[in-house]
């Protein structure tokens, strides 16, 4: 008959438990960074329709006073932040109109003149339902051309849990992802 010490028996018990639990661990699904899936693009299209209907984009849209911005957004930006409801989900929507420098631009010029030639992109953040992407504050991201088409960057449509957006919009001393990362001083 084999004799085992108490330590050896305890180790065997732990190994058996670990072997039993290992398949469950590998089945656990963590939140993944994904961008441009069919589901992401469909949701981005619904966001665009909402923004058109509620005058956040397009002719006659709600305006805010532009300011000097920075990369990767335009050199001049306009931002509107509002609470909205999309498909029964209430959340904060941040809409950023981005203007580039194809000619000398100032905030006043962007506000007062037609800037179709200088319009680079529209970027949005929408805080979706809890659990959408808990690791990253449940934000949905999208970047559009002025006509509502989703921008494709290096073969990836910029909608959903965009790694490109998350790379800059890291939390600064809290859970907020609304501002670009950098020095908190």
pLDDT band at residue 44 under the 50/70/90 scheme: very high
Whether 171 contacts 137, CB under 8 Å: yes
Q: What is the C-alpha to C-alpha distance for residues 114 and 99, in angstroms, rounded to an integer?
A: 11
pLDDT band at residue 164 under the 50/70/90 scheme: low
Q: What is the C-alpha to C-alpha distance for residues 22 and 28, in angstroms, rounded to an integer?
A: 10
pLDDT digits (tens, 9 = 90+) for 116-130: 677 788 888 898 888
Range in 10-14, 18-22, 32-36, 172-176 with the lowest mean pLDDT: 18-22
pLDDT at 73 over 50: yes
């Amino acid at each position: 008959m084999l004799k085992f010490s108490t330590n050896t028996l305890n180790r065997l018990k732990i190994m058996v438990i670990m072997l039993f639990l290992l398949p469950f661990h590998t089945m656990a699904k963590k939140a993944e960074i994904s961008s441009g899936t069919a589901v992401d693009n469909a949701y981005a299209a619904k966001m665009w329709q909402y923004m058109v209907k509620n005058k956040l984009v397009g002719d006659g849209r709600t305006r805010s006073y532009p300011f000097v911005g920075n990369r990767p957004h335009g050199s001049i930006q306009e931002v509107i932040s509002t609470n909205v409801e999309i498909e029964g989900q209430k959340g904060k929507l941040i809409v950023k109109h981005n203007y580039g420098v194809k000619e000398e631009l100032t905030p006043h010029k962007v506000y007062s003149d037609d800037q179709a030639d200088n319009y680079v992109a529209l970027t949005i953040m929408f805080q979706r339902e809890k659990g959408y992407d808990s690791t990253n504050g449940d934000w949905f991201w999208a970047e559009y051309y002025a006509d509502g088409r989703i921008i494709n960057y290096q073969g990836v449509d910029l909608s959903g849990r965009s790694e490109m957006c998350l790379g800059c919009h890291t939390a600064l001393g809290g859970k907020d992802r609304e501002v670009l990362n950098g020095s908190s001083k």
